[in-house]
Amino acid sequence: MDVKTIIENALNIPVIELSDPILSPCAMWYQLYQESELSGNGSATEESETYDIDIWCNTREESELYAGLLKASLLNTKYITYPALTFSFDTNGKMWRANFNFKHIKED
């Protein structure tokens, strides 16, 4: 799954690495973990990858706008769960953050 391309196509903002400085607006993504979804008799028949995507903006309204665009794109992507979305204000960076969390069910 090419998460970076999905973000770039949906938002047209920079997608940065975790170690890069955060300049608004921008987005970053990372894979949290992999796990089996269906297992039995000591073997997994299906696996998933869990991802987080952060969108950083100066205003809540801007983060809501970008989040809406990305959510529409994610909902049109096959084999992912419905994305959970939260909004928060980072007091250290003085920026709004929209955060998506979802699973991608790996195809065989």
**What CATH number should be reported for the domain holding residue 81?**
3.30.2000.10
Give the pLDDT mean for 74-91.
95
Structural domain of 80: 3-35+48-105
Residue 41 lies in a domain: no
- What is d(CA 53, CA 51) in angstroms, rounded to the nearest whole number? 7
Is residue 11 assigned to a domain?
Answer: yes
What is the per-residue pLDDT for 45?
A: 67
Q: Given strand 26-40, what is the order of strands in its sheet?
A: 26-40, 43-57, 95-105, 84-90
**Residue 24 located in a structural domain:** yes
- What is the predicted pLDDT for the residue at 108? 61
Q: Can you give the pLDDT at residue 107?
A: 67
The count of structural domains within the chain is 1
> 36 pLDDT exceeds 90?
no
pLDDT, the chain, mean: 92
Residue 12 lies in a domain: yes
Place of tokens 């960076």: 93
- Per-residue model confidence (pLDDT) at position 106: 83
